[in-house]
Amino acid sequence: MFALTDKIAVITGAASGIGAATARRFAHAGAHVVLAAYSPDGHDVDRVRADVAAAGRQAMVVETDVGQTPSVDALAAAALARFGRIDIALANAAIARRKPSLELDDRSWEQTLGIDLQGVWRLFRAVLPAMRDAGGGRLLATASTAGPFEAWEAHVHYSAAKAGIVGMVRSLAAEVGPLGITVNAIAPGIIETPQTLDSVNSLGAGGIAETGRTQPVRRIGKPEDIAAAYHFLASDDASFVTGHTLLVDGGRMLIRG
Amino acid sequence: MTRLAGRTALVTGAASGIGRAIACRFAAEGALVVVADLDDGENSARDGGAPTARAIAEAGGRAIFQRTDVTEESEVEALFAAARQASGRIDILVSNAGTFRGNPILATTPANWDADMDLNLRSHYLVNRAAIAAMAGEEARADGIRGRIVNMASQLGVTAPPGHLTYSVAKAGIAQMTRQLAVDYAREGILVNAIGPGRIITGYHPGEAEYVASGTIDAATAYSLARTPFPRLGRPDDVAGAALFLASDDCTFVSGHLLMVDGGWTAY
Ligand SMILES: NC(=O)c1ccc[n+]([C@@H]2O[C@H](COP(=O)([O-])OP(=O)(O)OC[C@H]3O[C@@H](n4cnc5c(N)ncnc54)[C@H](O)[C@@H]3O)[C@@H](O)[C@H]2O)c1
């Protein structure tokens, strides 16, 4: 079954980019969506909330800092208080901060790892008891090609976090598989989102346009490309897929172009 | 359930097991399915190409059966000619036909190496070549895609199954052919992906429920069950769900990927 009728999904980083597109997609597939948003970033989560509601599904916005354990625990508690269960948890929130390695101090390292890697773990840990009690669930995380599959200069901390997600997903899949819980990641390639459009910390508009020309499919990705793949991984059609990192990169890792 | 409405899908090895589950699922999603298999099923009510097509029709779907030996170039050509005649256009290929067989190297001969490669690797090349020739000549759909190909590799092309040289080499070859074709035809809008099934109960195996109920589970299956993190072995429908994603309009930016459907075996 592909529909997500009446499933409860929690998504971090839901106010923009891949998280927002996935929230919309899940709602259209029938899920109610808990939108975890970090307001200091200034994204308009109300538009995502409105789109989920327009699809006839319930949306709930929870202000969340995935860098803080109490904040993520409160997110899970709020979702459970409202809906009684969590079927799908997508740990998607992350930051990318350009930092040449000779300047990469503890503060920068801890900030990026704390959000991009430990933030994933905080969400998984917070929802695992409810999934265990329910006899199953779907844990999903947004990794990256940068780290597990390719280099990204001046992003050693980000790369380490994203490679860490791939390892976490494998080991957790083995451990919680017997509980009927699957754990998977998507490694997106170059996707046009606020993160990649940031010309200080990432490629910027010009950079992604240029990258698009060299990719096998001759375009860069859209958040909707990733959302469609998350829909598959969240659905019953992916029941026997676990511990896997699905590359959604338009074939870019095949040529490393 | 119309995710493949208006599409034509060619599925090889669709007489039984994984291929049959894919054919039935695709038809339920609205595709016209061209069922290809060596086994016509004349003598069987259940397995066989003709029974698969009949089962699809009885469920309200559309299918034709073309008896095909995928190791014979002329039969592959005839298959694509029949598909073109039935539908005018081939949108999806699932290259699935194959058989689990292999030996340790000292038990192989050059002749059985060739025979195994003919079946488990060269046949996929023949079918992919015919599909790409057909797809590349079509108009792109609105999303820029001309066709989607799903090749059946295996977990056993990633791990090395003890004593099954030709099978693992052929399955690894399918995965690499998939990557190569993905790069070579991305510009034409042909997405080429592979699935790596783990231990899927098919064909000569009873279902895992029967195994457990009867207590007669064989040692290899017991080991597979114990070794798979997910609390059950795979079913043909699990592979069909993954194949549907890769064959559908939802697969827009995935190409050259080997999607493991193995209950976490290779992650473990
Ligand atoms: N069952 C598993 O655990 C498993 C795991 C990994 C990969 N696979 C792969 O999945 C595919 C399907 O296998 P299955 O498990 O469904 O087994 P199966 O035996 O039920 O299906 C194989 C089909 O291929 C057909 N076939 C064989 N030789 C042919 C030829 N020369 N021309 C046309 N058709 C031919 C057979 O008639 C049969 O219908 C194979 O490629 C297999 O290697 C299976």
Q: What is the mean pLDDT of each run of 10 residues along chain A (257 residues)?
A: 95 98 98 97 96 98 98 98 98 97 98 98 98 98 97 97 98 97 97 91 91 87 97 98 97 86
Q: What mean pLDDT do residues B232-247 have?
A: 95
Whether B205 has a pLDDT exceeding 60, the answer reads: no
pLDDT confidence tier of residue B203, bands split at 50, 70 and 90: low
Residue nearest atom 38 of ligand 1, based on CA coordinates: B13
User: Is B207 a domain residue?
Assistant: no
Of B1, B198, B253, the CB nearest to A217: B253
User: Is A3 a domain residue?
Assistant: no
Residue whose C-alpha is closest to residue A122's, from A89, A87, A97, A82: A89
CATH number for A36:
3.40.50.720
Using most ligand atoms within 8 A of CB, pick from B22, B37, B43, B72 the residue to mutate for ligand 1.
B37
User: Is B3 a domain residue?
Assistant: no
Range(s) of the domain holding residue A14: 8-255
Q: What is the pLDDT of residues B103-162, one digit of tens each?
A: 999 999 999 999 999 999 999 999 999 999 999 999 999 999 999 999 999 999 999 989
Check if the beta carbon of residue A89 is closer than 8 Å to that of residue A185: no
Q: What does the pLDDT read at residue A53?
A: 98
pLDDT confidence tier of residue B44, bands split at 50, 70 and 90: confident
E strands, chain A, in order:
8-12, 32-37, 59-63, 88-91, 137-142, 181-188, 245-248
CA pair distance A97, A89, nearest whole angstrom: 25
Pairwise CB contact (< 8 Å): A238 & B187: no
For residue A21, count other CB atoms closer than 10 A to its CB: 23
Q: What does the pLDDT read at residue A226?
A: 98
Output the six-digit token pair for B89: 């256009």
Look over chain B and give the mean of its residue pLDDT values, rounded to a whole number: 93
User: Is B93 a domain residue?
Assistant: yes
User: Is B225 a domain residue?
Assistant: no
- Is any ligand 1 atom within 6 A of the Cβ of residue B79? no
pLDDT confidence tier of residue B1, bands split at 50, 70 and 90: confident
**Residue B211: in which H helix or E strand, if any?**
helix B208-214
Q: What does the pLDDT read at residue A214?
A: 84
Q: How many domains does chain A have?
A: 1
Rounded percentage of chain B residues whose pLDDT exceeds 70: 94
Sequence-distant (6+) residues with CB within 8 A of B30 are: B1, B2, B3, B4, B5, B6, B7, B61
Whether B208 has a pLDDT exceeding 80, the answer reads: no
User: Is A1 a domain residue?
Assistant: no
Output the six-digit token pair for B228: 């798979």
pLDDT confidence tier of residue B210, bands split at 50, 70 and 90: low
SS3 state of residue A216: coil
Q: How many domains does chain B have?
A: 1
CATH number for B109:
3.40.50.720
CA pair distance B37, A78, nearest whole angstrom: 53
CA pair distance B262, A238, nearest whole angstrom: 10
User: Is A119 a domain residue?
Assistant: yes
Range(s) of the domain holding residue B111: 8-200+235-263
Whether B204 has a pLDDT exceeding 80, the answer reads: no
Check if the beta carbon of residue A149 is closer than 8 Å to that of residue A104: no
Q: What does the pLDDT read at residue B212?
A: 55
Q: What is the pLDDT of residues B46-98, one digit of tens each?
A: 789 999 999 999 999 999 999 999 999 999 999 999 999 999 899 999 999 99
Of B228, B238, B254, the CB nearest to A248: B254
Whether B207 has a pLDDT exceeding 70, the answer reads: no
What is the pTM (predicted TM-score) of this model? Answer: 0.94
Locus of tokens 């905080």: A122
pLDDT confidence tier of residue B216, bands split at 50, 70 and 90: low
User: Is B209 a domain residue?
Assistant: no
User: Is B227 a domain residue?
Assistant: no
Whether B209 has a pLDDT exceeding 60, the answer reads: no
- Helix axis angle for A45-54 and A17-28, nearest 10°, is 10
Residue B174's φ and ψ, nearest 5 degrees, are -60, -40
User: Is A2 a domain residue?
Assistant: no
For residue B42, count other CB atoms closer than 10 A to its CB: 10
- Is any ligand 1 atom within 6 A of the Cβ of residue B194? no
